[in-house]
Structure 1
Amino acid sequence: MTMNVADYARECAARGLRGDYSVCRADFTVAQGYNYNDEEQAVWRTLCDRQTKLTRKLAHHSYLDGVAALGLLDKIPDFGAVSEKLRKFTGWEIVAVPGLIPAQPFFDHLAHRRFPVTNWLRTQKELDYIVEPDMFHDFFGHVPILTQPVFADFMQMYGKKADSVIALGGDEMITRLYWYTVEYGLIREPGQPLKAFGAGLMSSFTELQFAVEGGEAHHVPFDLETVMRTGYEIDKFQRAYFVLPSFDALRDAFETADLAAIVARRKGEPALGPASL
């Protein structure tokens, strides 16, 4: 059942979330409100400068191509201007939200090639860690890879299929797929070194290095059903990272999988421990 916007705004206020949910439209979007001050612009440049030193070495070339094509580094992006560029690549656009939004409207946005991006930025004191996803995580982490047609198709497909998987009782399973690919995915194309593309890695100075270069990071070949069965870490570095051979492999596996059968077969089973893979 879709949550009422006013009810969700009250719930977010009670949880202490910092976004202004009181001004949400029916689809949980808001105006970006491009009124960022000099300190916020400085935080954006600091984050981008620091993270770019790593992504140029550790990120997949498709992510780096997206950053270059969209022009995200000099100042806080204007959502409308970036959307104009993004539509030309894959038909996607950016919509502003005040922070986390309910699953159903989130999936609906993805299904219609709209990616929700938080309209506020962390403070200078939160450069290294922030509890809620902010604009830097959403924009610097997620948006560049949406310039890649195959990955963009997967994201739309995910939005279209997620609700039906949840209705079958597979909410944890479909969430794990998003976590281990969209947020913390790695890729190693034939003959190429291991690279990262997941947004949680792109926006994390420390975990990006750990995931790609850390000796304790466990790199597991991608298998859709295994991913959907594997638990994940929320408040620490991942114990396992799934490695794609290509974005085509991700899209094709999701497109052809019998998700209902996977849920029926695995629902109720304890999650696989990521340290045991």
Structure 2
Amino acid sequence: MILSEIHVYPIKSVTGRAVDRAHVHPWGLEGDRRWAVVGPDGDNLWLGEYPRLLAVTATELPAGGLLLSARGLPDLRVPPADGPRVPVGFTGLDHAMLAAPEAHAWFTELLGVPARLVWLDDPARRSVDPAHGGLPGEVVSFAWDAPLLLITTASSRRLDEWIEQGAAERGEASAGPLSPLRFRPSVMVEGAEPFEEDTWREVRIGTVSFRVSELCDRCAVTTIDPHTYRKGKEPLRTLAAHRRWDGKTWFGIRLVPRDVGEIRVGDPVIAG
């Protein structure tokens, strides 16, 4: 097996970017989800409720900060966060640092609701939730439940086959193939058998080892087309027919780094 893709999401819930290599920290990939968009009460403005977050491209600047782009809005350079610390509603985290006021205004205009951009100054402050497989000392950025999410191309292709088969049985046009980016993976692996990852407990990518903390239960975010921002029924309808147990649907696995180091597209992947 090989590592076929790496994706980094500079701001939680916005569009990710593909990279050829990434440094692995205890809390996740370099530059991944250190920023988040929250409401006035500090609660996360969730992609499932605000699909237009997918319109945002965020690029890290060499001196820190971000360049924000979205169709219909002027580009905005956001300096490194140096605002006051404010309460936020993330499990295991009580506060984060406010970005510059112009960033709040930009996201407020984009979403049509009051919004603020915050930065997680020290991701070692946030523990991986024990309810999602976290062990003492494990930490995570603004990502949900684990530092990395892994999916395999084989499982993605099998899901597309199931979607096409189901559509044919219902006499409908197929919604697939679906972009695997709907699942917001950190890493994608080529060469596994479909859903072989369900059985993995350890994964080694290049020289970096990871612990599988849990399988990933899927939410309504996966039903949003990353290009049109419209919601549909897939893939949750098909996952519910083939991959539903314990009242949830499942696709992919969550990883916690055991080591730090660099991973690169093309690295060998060993799992078991």
Q: Please, what TM-score do these two structures have when normalized by structure 2?
A: 0.28
- Which TM-score applies when normalising by structure 1? 0.28
Which structure features the higher share of strand residues?
2
